[in-house]
Structure 1
Amino acid sequence: MSLPTDAEERSFAPADSLLRFATAGAVDDGKSTLIGRLLHDSRSLLADQLEMLELVGRERGDDGLDLAMVTDGLRAEREQGITIDVAHRYFETADRAFIIADTPGHAQYTRNMVTGASTADLAIVLVDARNGLTEQSRRHAVLAGLLRVPRLVLAVNKMDLVDHDHEVFAAITAEFARFTAELELPEVTAIPISALRGDNVVHRSDRMPWYEGPSLLEHLEQVHIEDDRAAGDFRLPVQYVIRAPERDYRGYAGQISGGSVHEDAEVLHLPSGLRTRVTAVDTADGALAEARAPQSVSVRLADEIDVGRGDLLCAPDAPPAAATELTARVCWMAANPVLRPGTRLLLKHTTRTVKALVTAVHHRVDVTTLHREPAAELGLNDIGEVGLRLAQPVFCDPYERNRLTGGGLLVDEATHATVGAVMITEAR
């Protein structure tokens, strides 16, 4: 780990080393304090942020820094000492750049945790060493598994409040391992920390000599990230058609959600089923010989095809399903209405929005046991499997294959509120 000193000129991490990670866990487990500690001890806070923290400390009559205030930006968050919104923060060391999503712990804000983790390369689930696993920390671990977050860190926090006891840490990690055995999480790392005191957050602590692993930041810097999207089949959901008649320019813009594309590549257009060839791949910084997920590009095509928003350009030998019937896992985010057969909703999938009818609720998942139980409906924060019938086809992959073309959002037709997160398991 290489951190800049005040006298050193900061060297920035290469752009392709960016790690997106989300923090999760129950209320008061210390997520915001952990992020504040990461930013403070890695010298990533601005001078005015440090002055604000010191001022708050003086107003409270002590010299301590309220590190949680770094991410608790809403007035209600500061007053209540909780996280409500998803706070995104950027920082970097000499070895890697990071985007952090600090997600709320309250059960009623589970939807915000889904938002923060949906694009994460890694999730940190914090657990209070005094309390062990709670229902909400279990729920967040389940969501990380369902969202196919490829790496997970179990950060056992507040070790200073249990006298840095190795047996406490071992018992929590063993319980967590038993619980997550069915989640198919490919990589889980456990680290004992004290976010308030800084133990094993940025620097290794001598208060826990029995722990021989890396600090949290060392692990975040070293963990291998491989964007599976770039290794998959080419997918470009068209978001916008760029026209410049004076230059005879027509490009089809969007974010590549899978694979790569290059000049002269053959692509398939959906829904027409017509094949054509890419003549150029453009970005705001100029043309590229090749682009890959998750880059945003505009591609030009050799043939005049009617292409618009909601269409898809893809690999001709590996197209996605054009489906009107879906089986999907759903995290339901609304208290009213509940999700039950017959419910009419809108499905936002990539750049296309279609009407959807709930045809069945197959089961609900008990987040404390991971058992599937029969259910006639899904209520607030329930996770279950449902059937959907669509008014128009969407071009989709299974979520486990592509998190973007396999995911979607359910929207209430009347209020336009987002009420569910969708992970497609089967399409036909």
Structure 2
Amino acid sequence: MDMHAQLDTFFAAQEKKSLLRFLTCGSVDDGKSTLIGRLLYDTQMLFEDQVAALESDSRKHGASGHDLDFTLLMDGLEAEREQGITIDVAYRFFTTTKRKFIVADSPGHEQFTRNMVTGASTAQLAIVLVDARRGLLPQTHRHSLIASLLGIRHVVLAVNKIDLVDYSERIFSGIAADYRSLAKELGFATITPIPTSARYGDNVAKRSRHMEWYSGPALLQHLETIDVVKDTEDQPFRFAIQYVNRPSADFRGLAGTVSSGSICEGSSVVVAKSGRPSRIKRIIGPRGELVCAQEGQSVTLLLDDDVEASRGNMLVAPGTPPHLADQFAANLVWFSEQPLLLGRSFLLRTETDESPATITDLKYRININNFAQEAAKSLAINEVGVVNVSTQTPIAFDTFQDNRATGSFILINRITNATVAAGMIQHPLRRAENIHWQELHVTKASRARLKAQRAAVLWFTGLSGSGKSTIANLVEKKLNAEGRHTYLLDGDNVRHGLNRDLGFTDQDRVENIRRLAEVAKLMADAGLLVLVSAISPFEAERRTARELLGDGEFVEIFVDTPFEECVRRDPKGLYAKAFRGEIKNFTGVDSPYEVPGAPDIHLKSEGRGASDLAIDVEDWLRERCYC
């Protein structure tokens, strides 16, 4: 057999091997990186130059004396090597005669929990490491809970550093029993305890001679033989459209990845959001035409007709539609150092879709020590809770239990673009199914036309004492005198009625502005020129208010008055009370004011009177045909 034939045979054999994705997790210094490094070394998956580099690095950075420090195979960042910790998720591929593997080495530090979630999101099995000397720790609880929430159903409990407790069967059995008790509510299909010494290779690639009392498999043997295919084999077809490929008028292909199930030429499909049926005409893979495609394959699908389908939508199997809703319940892992604020708008992103979204309710927080459900008003960094989510537009999804790919999402801070949370959808909210938009024949434009004006919201923002209410009052007076139809929503006035139940915490400030924005939107829909005067200290909420309205309908007016001048004026005596500690969370004193980056109208009030500033606003509106 010639070289080419041998290579073809080899690659064909590799393609037939099953693939197992797994991760290591647990607390700091439990030996996760060492375990993977030892596994790679013992399975002879390292080249000679890698071994030579490992020997050199072990002398320079190692913490294992004269022995090879296997953590250095995984901890590639200089900061990781200097500190002896794992910071980022490290992925490695290796193969044996029986199976292919992709392993994710996740950090143990609590502050890097978000990285662990990343590694667990695609894993089918989790190796939870526990130091035999220390037993179960808070991170053991947290990582096990997250692994369960992320749909991992198979766990290996690696009781590591067993050599440091004289290979004690009693200690191993005690830790295994404690973990089974801990995990009984987490829904794992299998839990396999294995006593290991990653440093010396005991029960890693082969059975150890030091523990004759242990009759179970070595870690590698277990990884090679565990069956994870049946976990997903019954899932219906889902194809998340990522790109519409149209290089010519004769070719319109929908590119993406088969999230679950399989599809063949001639198969019937349904567009998830519209419910429109179609049929698969052709399937094109990276190497050409295919008869069928299955889960995990990236392909381009051509349909029999030009049914509307684009990024953010899915092709699905007939008879098994996903949910289509704008409200649902979800498990949420919070990543941000800033606590969760209910009502704040985020960008929710699924596999291919995205929509502005808010957390409308925090049903409870999950205690990571005993998994109890606790009442809470917010989530802090690395905490887990169950929430209700509302999206601005309906999205297509499955429950996470049914499909990990189409039932998960992340939340993104719309100002910083940072990922603040990961979510797993439990179910759509029934109330969302009972509420539908009623078509109205009289529009905003027709209502405004009757008033000979252009509907808009003039949003005055600034510090307390900046003069925004005075200026807004004068602007409305001028507009009213010209026969314009207006209404002024003053931040203080609405707290006597609509928002009387709200205080001045960050959470309440977010809800205060959300309600103001929704009322202003309704008034603008009536064709009015709506003036809103409110401190509205957070950029995120002002942006949310803008996005509730159409293009050009939201006018942000920043009344820019120096803090010192606001304190000097102090028309209501609030600054004096705040400095005496009688008022908490007062904007500008012990609560931040986020200055608008690009307001539509920037009123610099220093040295100018309120009447002149009001004229500036009126002139701006007239020049742009608002009145």
Alignment correspondent of 2:399: 398
1:294-352 deviation per Cα after TM superposition (whole angstroms, max 9, x unaligned): 2111111001122211111111211111110011000001111x113212111101101
1:90-109 deviation per Cα after TM superposition (whole angstroms, max 9, x unaligned): 01111111101000000010
1:378 corresponds to 2:385: no
Matched residue SS, 1:416: coil
Task: Measure the CA separation in 2 of the matches of 1:330 and 1:69.
Answer: 33
CA contact (8 A) 1:238 1:309 kept: yes
Q: Greater CA radius of gyration, 1 or 2?
A: 2
The structure 2 residue matched to 1:301, chosen from 300, 303, 311, is 303
Alignment correspondent of 2:336: 334
1:364 corresponds to 2:365: yes
User: How far off is 1:289 after superposition?
Assistant: 1.5
Q: Which blocks of at least 5 consecutive residues in structure 2 are unaligned? A: 1-8, 430-627
Matched residue SS, 2:386: strand
Do the aligned partners of residues 216 and 421 (structure 1) sit closer, same or farther apart at CA in structure 2, a change above 3 Å counting? same
Alignment correspondent of 2:148: 145
Alignment correspondent of 2:270: 268
Alignment correspondent of 1:5: none
Partner letter of residue 28 of structure 1?
D
Alignment correspondent of 1:108: 111
The structure 1 residue matched to 2:327, chosen from 325, 328, 344, is 325
Partner letter of residue 351 of structure 2?
T
Alignment correspondent of 1:352: 353
Q: Which blocks of at least 5 consecutive residues in structure 1 are unaligned? A: 1-8
Task: Measure the CA separation in 1 of the matches of 2:240 and 2:191.
Answer: 32
1:2-58 deviation per Cα after TM superposition (whole angstroms, max 9, x unaligned): xxxxxxx99964444111100001000000000000001110012221111112344
Q: TM-score, normalised by structure 1?
A: 0.95
Considering fraction of residues, name the structure with more helix: 2
Matched residue SS, 2:259: coil
Q: Could you say what the CA RMSD is over the residues aligned between the two structures, in angstroms?
A: 1.6
Task: Measure the CA separation in 1 of the matches of 2:16 and 2:75.
Answer: 27
The structure 1 residue matched to 2:66, chosen from 55, 63, 66, is 63
Task: Measure the CA separation in 1 of the matches of 2:420 and 2:113.
Answer: 11
User: How far off is 1:270 after superposition?
Assistant: 2.9
Matched residue SS, 2:211: coil
Considering fraction of residues, name the structure with more strand: 1
Alignment correspondent of 1:90: 93
Task: Measure the CA separation in 2 of the matches of 1:10 and 1:316.
Answer: 39
CA contact (8 A) 2:272 2:322 kept: no
CA contact (8 A) 2:58 2:72 kept: no
Task: Measure the CA separation in 2 of the matches of 1:27 and 1:46.
Answer: 29
Do the aligned partners of residues 62 and 145 (structure 1) sit closer, same or farther apart at CA in structure 2, a change above 3 Å counting? closer
Task: Measure the CA separation in 2 of the matches of 1:176 and 1:372.
Answer: 20
Partner letter of residue 349 of structure 2?
K
Alignment correspondent of 1:50: 51
Partner letter of residue 339 of structure 1?
L
The structure 1 residue matched to 2:212, chosen from 181, 185, 209, is 209
Alignment correspondent of 2:30: 29
Percent identity of paired positions between Structure 1 and Structure 2? 44
Task: Measure the CA separation in 1 of the matches of 2:105 and 2:269.
Answer: 39
CA contact (8 A) 2:333 2:382 kept: yes
CA contact (8 A) 1:139 1:367 kept: yes
Of structures 1 and 2, the one with the larger relative CO (CA 8 A, separation 6+) is: 1
Task: Measure the CA separation in 2 of the matches of 1:333 and 1:52.
Answer: 35
User: How far off is 1:229 after superposition?
Assistant: 3.9
Task: Measure the CA separation in 1 of the matches of 2:234 and 2:337.
Answer: 39
Matched residue SS, 1:231: coil
Task: Measure the CA separation in 2 of the matches of 1:385 and 1:229.
Answer: 25
Task: Measure the CA separation in 2 of the matches of 1:225 and 1:384.
Answer: 28
Task: Measure the CA separation in 2 of the matches of 1:166 and 1:14.
Answer: 40
Matched residue SS, 1:152: strand
CA contact (8 A) 1:327 1:424 kept: yes
